């Protein structure tokens, strides 16, 4: 089947308005937010409105032997949704229905195009809570969260996306619809295929519907902030929190560079002082006396570890202001240049070592590197700032990106905690999982997608 025949078939089956081929238009769907990742020119962009449309598109591309790159809102940071030359970009944003909210069983059925924040707001009206909250939660989609197994600030207590998934509907490479998982709390019938597709970055199938577990809406959170004049002291405080079994609903860390950037951007003083090298931000949603006890214990730990500032508040607006300092870091760094954010996860006892390693890389390459992250689970986001007009600085930023990954692995960590492998960390994935792990990945891919139709070249190559 020729490319022209494929485009015409897609238009016949999905409608003219659902198939875009103008190069100026398709370019807007060709890449995500990661500047390092390669990007190609798609043959077409297809926007189905229902599962049947997804199936039709997949069957047509399979018959034409044209690859498919599934895409959500494009908020990803690994290049996983980037087009390759001649592919069809399959955009799922029009499958945006919240199909069901079952408050009695604390679950919901949702399509992939639903915005994370819209979904959270919808279930909140039923007294329920959907925990995954990536930094882009106000515009990223549930489908993208599923495909990358996204996390966010609440991971320390509530886990990442996969921890909320009960079941999925997935269009497979032959166009058939796989229904896997369950609606019950327990279930061990067969392999856990739903979890296999979570985090697969669109390489195994196209998710068209998800059944997810919900939590009771937590109490309004109390907020705690602690400032440290040494990174080691902050790292020891995190380790103590883990050892003593505290599980706050949020535990974040900011290094000196990110603190300064946020304070400048927000035109505020966080009260940490000019000598502050690390800031811990925590919240407890336990409520009432339980929440106060939790933050009191956290305050004692931080004080024992040498915190120069330790402050707790039950005032919601003050808490939001403190947390805003963490949420705006990437935006704040844009005042210095373009940012390139990394995504390494290390054992929680090695957070300080990672921050020091990033300081050394910063001095070596001569670029500003800010480190923020989810201290509660060790997932750090070193962010490199460079001048967009300078190819030489961009090259140094690339060098820093790789050196930080090297440090993360050396500390016993992983090259990606929540952003995914995509098209920028394929070689690093091979280093991390080894030859046997790569062989098993390829065998799974071959079993489900024998024609290498879905997102070829993302995560790993099918050939050496």
CB atoms within 10 A of CB 289: 8
pLDDT at 388: 87
CA distance 46 to 68: 10
Q: What is the pLDDT of residue 249?
A: 92
pTM: predicted TM-score of the whole model, two decimal places: 0.92
Give the span between the Cα atoms of 137 and 117, in whole angstroms. Answer: 5
pLDDT at 151: 85
241-251 tens-digit pLDDT: 999 999 999 99
pLDDT at 196: 96
Is residue 385 within 8 Å of 338, Cβ to Cβ?
yes
For the residues of 326-346, what is the DSSP string, one character each?
HHTHHHHHTTTSEEEE--EE-
Residue 361 · residue 299 · CB < 8 Å = no
pLDDT 10s digits, 94-128 = 999 999 999 999 999 999 999 999 999 999 999 99
CB atoms within 10 A of CB 318: 13
- As a whole number of angstroms, the distance between CA 380 and CA 151 comes to 12
Name the CATH topology of 3-91: 3.30.43
Q: Residue 296: what pLDDT?
A: 93
Distance in angstroms (rounded) separating the CA atoms of residues 429 and 2: 35
Q: Which CATH class is domain 222-410?
A: alpha beta
What are the boundaries of each domain within the chain? 3-91, 98-216, 222-410
**Spans of the chain below 70 pLDDT:** none
- The domain defined by 98-216 folds into 3.30.465
């Amino acid at each position: 089947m020729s490319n022209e025949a494929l485009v015409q078939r897609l238009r016949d089956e999905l409608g003219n308005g659902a198939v875009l081929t103008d190069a100026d238009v398709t370019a807007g769907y060709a890449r995500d937010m990661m500047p390092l990742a390669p990007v190609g020119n798609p043959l077409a962009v297809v926007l189905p409105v229902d599962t049947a449309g997804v199936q039709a598109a997949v069957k047509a591309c399979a018959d034409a032997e044209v690859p498919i790159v599934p895409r959500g809102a494009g908020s990803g940071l690994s290049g996983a949704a980037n087009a390759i030359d001649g592919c069809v970009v399959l955009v799922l944003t029009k499958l945006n229905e919240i199909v069901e909210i079952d408050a009695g069983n604390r679950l919901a059925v949702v399509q992939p195009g639903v915005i994370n924040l819209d979904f959270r707001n919808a279930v909140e009206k039923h007294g329920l809570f959907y925990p995954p909250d990536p930094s882009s939660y106000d515009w990223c989609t549930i489908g993208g969260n599923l495909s990358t197994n996204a996390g966010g600030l609440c991971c320390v207590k509530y886990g990442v996306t996969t921890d909320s998934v009960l079941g999925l509907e997935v269009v497979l490479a032959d166009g058939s619809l796989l229904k896997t998982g369950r609606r019950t709390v327990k279930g061990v019938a067969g392999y856990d295929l739903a979890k296999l597709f979570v985090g697969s970055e669109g390489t195994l199938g196209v998710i068209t519907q998800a059944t997810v577990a919900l939590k009771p809406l937590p109490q309004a959170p109390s907020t705690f902030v602690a400032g440290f004049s040494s990174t080691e002291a902050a790292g020891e405080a995190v380790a103590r929190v883990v050892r003593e079994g505290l599980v706050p609903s949020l535990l974040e860390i900011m290094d000196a560079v990110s603190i300064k950037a946020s304070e400048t951007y927000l035109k505020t003083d966080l009260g940490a002082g000019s000598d502050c090298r690390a800031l811990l931000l925590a919240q407890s949603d336990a409520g009432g006396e339980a929440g106060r006890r939790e933050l009191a214990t956290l305050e004692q730990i931080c004080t024992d570890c040498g915190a120069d500032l330790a402050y707790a508040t039950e005032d919601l607006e003050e808490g939001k202001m403190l947390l805003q300092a963490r949420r705006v870091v990437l935006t704040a760094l844009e005042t210095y240049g373009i940012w390139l954010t990394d995504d390494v996860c290390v054992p929680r006892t090695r957070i300080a070592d990672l921050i020091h390693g990033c300081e050394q890389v910063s001095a070596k390459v001569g670029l500003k590197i800010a480190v923020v992250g989810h201290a509660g689970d060790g997932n750090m986001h070193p962010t490199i700032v460079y001048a967009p007009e300078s190819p030489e600085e961009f090259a140094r930023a690339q060098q820093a990106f790789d050196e930080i990954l090297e440090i993360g692995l050396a500390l016993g960590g992983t090259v990606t905690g929540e952003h995914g492998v995509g098209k920028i960390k394929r070689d690093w994935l091979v280093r991390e999982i080894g030859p046997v792990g790569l062989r098993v990945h390829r065998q799974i891919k071959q079993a489900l997608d024998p024609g290498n139709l879905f997102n070829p070249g993302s995560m790993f190559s099918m050939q050496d």
